[in-house]
Each structure stands twice: as C-alpha cells, then as structure tokens.
Structure 1
C-alpha cells in the first residue's frame, strides 16, 4: 500500500520535529536561579550614619542581655493534654492591653481546623484563663485565616486581621468578656498589621497602586496607601519580597516602621505616608534563592542555619517612645548572635544597647513570648511563656 503525503503536511511535520528538538533547551536556557534581594534592589540608607555594618561582629561589644530578667517569675500557658483552650494549635500573634490582660490568637492553619482553634484566648499574667472569643468559620465574628491582633481603646477593642480581606472587631462588655461588634471589609488581606491614633495599618503589596502599607480608620474606611515595594521586574517576586514584613506603630511620634524578612532595611513613615528615613543593615544574608522560568516562579527555602544568615525585626518595646530593632545572625556550629538597637523614630539614629532580642510583648515588668516544648515523642507543643516581676 502506498501512502500519499501532501508536501504541505511534510513541511509542517518537519517544523514540528525541529521545534521539539530545540524547545526544551530554549526553555532551560531561559530558566534562572538567583539570590534575592538583588544588590541593586536593596535601598540605600537615607544617611551614611544610618548603616549598621554586621560584616565584622568583633567590633560590636559583647553587651549583656538587653532585658535583665533577674527576679522575674515564669509561668506558661498551653499544654499537651487539658481543657480545649489549653491545647494550642498555632500561636499566630499575642497582644496585651497594658493592664495585665493578654490576648493569644490561636490560628491553626488550614480551613478544617479543630473547633478549639482559630480563637482568641484571654488570660492574665499568672496564666489564668479568662475566656475566649471568635471561632473558625465564615460568618460574623468567625475567622478564615486570622493572623494578627491589634488592641485599641485602652484594651476595650480588639481587631483581628488576616490574610483574607476581613478585619473582625470585638468589644469588651461590662462583665469584661468580649463580644463580636462588626466586620470590616478591606481592599487587601494583611501580611502584617498595627494600630495607633485612631487608625490601623495593614501590609500587603498592591500592584495596581504600587503601595505596600494601607491606612484605614477604625471603622474600616480607606485613608491612604504608601510604602516602597521591592524593585524587580517579576510581579510574583515583588509581592513575595514586599509582603514578608513586621510592622510597628509608634504612638508617641506617629511613626509607622516596617522591617522585611528578606530585605535588610528598616523604613519609617509618618502618618501621611511620607518616608522619614531608611536604616540599612549590611553583612547579613536575610534572603533566599528564587528560580524563574517561562512558566513559573519557584521560591526555595531559606538556609536558616547557614553562617551569615540572619533576620531583622522591628518593634515598639516598652511603649517608651523608642523603636527597637533585633538583628539576628548565624555564626555557624549552631551558634547565633542577636544584637539589639534602639532607634529614634523621627531620625533613624540608632544605639547598640544589648543582646538577646525583643520578646513579642515587652514591658517594664512583663515579657510574653511564643515558645514550644517537646514531648517524649519529639512532638512540639505550642506554649506562651510569661515572665513578670511578681512575688511567688
């Protein structure tokens, strides 16, 4: 049997064979794996005096721990077996009203969380349980992806923000319990949050505006957006690098400060969104490798134990009018050094004041931090450690 093949068909077949032969190398040639942040994408300090050089740690004095816990009593909340509220799933955030009440956001990841998670637990500084509010779900006062707590109105109002577009508001009742008040719809979800002076601020890169920080009234009305995103030509990488952040609101000076997990700088803005200063930290590797190809972007895990790797965290410890920066760096052989700096919110001028970093909540006579304890099987049990200056 003779098969007749049109010349046009044979030509198309030849083209397809050539494409199959060379297409894979072409795609592979386009693929690139780079470490981010790129040197050209790291902002310069707004003044040469605002550069913290950690490339030579020997020049930094071995100062004692920034916080002296001598005389502090330690109690913990959270256990492997006990009441529902004691068996924590994942402590996403902790906040305090400054008067001895501690709020714990148990935000077990996933949409099918147990009923006792995705809840805010209320305790005192002796780890006594005072109650809970909120639960997993999609109705009023229910959480899908809760991540952050903001306490306002002298502890009488608690805002719960998450990676979805809702901020849930709870009010303290006359009996000191908390009841759902309302839900606020925002334009973006939150990857960091803080509040001050009658407004709350959320971090989430918005490609349409180019803003990273978004300001809202306490009623959820959008005020303005500001902040500089990571500079790169891949939108997925810009969003990833910009969103990984810590946000701190300094009530005394009306300053909003942001530190990124992957970018070694701290930026500060006033309430109108004008940039005040940039502190740049050199000699620290806080980023990760990212692979780009024609079809996807792959983010590789950070080598957290690698020598030279580190992270920055900005906070407003003590509520004393200063900002505090913790810079952590791996030294190798399972050794790590943490330097603590006090920063002037208005100028960015810094002073090295100690070691040990800043706990999640830091007050003159109270420290609260998330921690874990391992059981006999090596399973990590979430806990909240409370250290306070109280008599036994």
Structure 2
C-alpha cells in the first residue's frame, strides 16, 4: 500500500525536468559501477524537438516525492511506429512503454509504475513493456545480471533490487537481451581461423573498412542491411531517416574506420559490423558535466582513444544469407579484422558483443564459437493493462 505522504506528480516545466535527470545522481551516488551520463545529452533525449523519436512518439514523465524529497522517477511513452508492428514481434497495437525508471524504495517504485500504467491506459493501451528508455534502439531492458561491473557505451545500469520490485508489480519477463564479453588479445580457435582463411581465398568475398568521408552513403548501406537483417526480430521498430541522421551526428566522434566493416559478396554489401570504443571509460570521471574542464578531456580522448573495451552494438547479415554457412564466415572475418585493429591501434584487450536476443540462435552460436561468455542480461518485462 502506498504511504499517504507519497505524492506522484507529472513533470511540469524545466525545473522538474532538471530534477528528473539529476535524480540518478542521488540513486547511484554510492554505486561504483554506475557511469554518469552527460546531463545535457539526457535532457536532449527527453525533449521533443531535440530527439527525433518524438516525431513518432509521445511521453509523460513522473516524479515521486515524500516530504518534498524526490524518491523516484519514471517515463510513460507510446511509440506510434511500434503500434504498427506485428504482435508476434513483441510490439503491435495496444503496446505502450515505461522507462527512465529509478526509485529509492519499493513503495515509490510501485506508485510510479502504477502512474505510468494509468497514463498508458488513458491513451488506450492494453499492454505495457518496460523498462525501455525511451526507444527500443536506446536502452531497453532492466539489468538483471552483471551488476558487478560498469556498462559499456549506450548500455544501462540499474540497482539489483529493481528486479523484485518490477515482478511484484505484476510483470513477467517478455525477452532477455544478452551481452557477451571476450578476451580479444588471444586468437580465436583453430576451426574459426580456418573458416577465416578460407574466406580470404575466395574471390567472391571482400571485407572493407567504411569510408568516413562518405559518411551518409555508408550509413545508408548499413541501415539497408540492418532493416533487412533485423526486420523479423523481436522488438524491431524501423529507424526513421531523421533518427539515422541524429544518431549519426551523435556517434560520429566515436566512429572510426578501422572499427566498422562492410562485407561484400559478389560486389553487393550483405553484412556489416559496427564497433565502438567504450566512451564510458572517458565519461565516468566527468560526473555528467563537460564544463569547466570535461570538454577538453573528452576532446583529447576522442583524438585517438586508448581503451580497455570495445563494444559491438550492431551486426547484421541480410536475411537471404542468415541460414547459410556464408553468414557465419562473413561474421567471423569481420570480427577478426576488427579485433586486430582494436588491439594494435586502440590498445583494447576486451570486447563486448550485444545486446543479443536470447532466441537469436545464429548470433548466440557465433558468440559462443569465439569463446565469449554472457556477462550481462537485460530483461524486458510485460504486463496486460
């Protein structure tokens, strides 16, 4: 039962929105594995007109207060593109979302989730998925395994107790998203090396670096492969041109030609692998602020990042090849070439692949074949409204 002194109110105005963002620093102040996001970037994420997600979505944010002190936050949002997807893919008509979820106690958590559900029901939604913050392409899922080490760039971090609070609110797991880690300083097993060497002898296969001077063209190629490769996956929602441009601009400083490969078969682009240096290693000391000195430190780091970890956020092979040996061969070749450059040019020693859907048999098999192990699980929960 919600204590009588607990008040849930919609975020209204700039002061509330700032408090909504700042609350994370209260929740995770004693958590050594939390990576403070840049506050300005989080504010942009939440602001219509600055985030193209809102061209096809609407949201309401809520704060919990007890005695004037903020004790929790949550977003409730509807993605109109998700409503058009097939229910068999996890979205579809009637599906709303909540995310940006943090709370200091279970009563606040329960009241916030109830507030989000109430907003979604008032908008005609019949099912809630959460947490998803805000788009499925951003930070989906609640961290349910791997709280003992920091997340990599563009991945979330949550308190362990949230899992129990969400389940108590009536939610059941809808999908698990896994990340895999591996030591990239050692070569892959002999069988994998033979597969790579066989591909190198084929006149049909070309693995090339992206050309950053032709950023828009390369982004269009990657997006075309991604939409084809992921189109039938659980949770897939099309990425709009505006979102591609926005994300490209945001990621361009950490996009390096050595770390992104496009695979061509008979001259046609059929697969890609995107790898990013773990920006979180540079962000953690900044505590969310670029000023007065953070911007200089970050710019210096971006000139030539030297990192421990590389993250593979996206990888795809066109649908017509996915059940073939060629798909695995192309994947292993791209992974190996990027692995070599990550070590020699960026000083990396560790890789992280993900997220990967728990039922993506092909990608899970590839991850296991190169001796990687699951290091984090993010769970997306669902509930009928």
* Fold similarity call, TM over 0.5: no
Greater fraction of residues in helix: 2
Larger Rg: 1
Give TM-score scaled by structure 2 length: 0.25
Greater fraction of residues in strand: 1
User: Which has the bigger relative contact order, CA under 8 A and spacing at least 6?
Assistant: 2
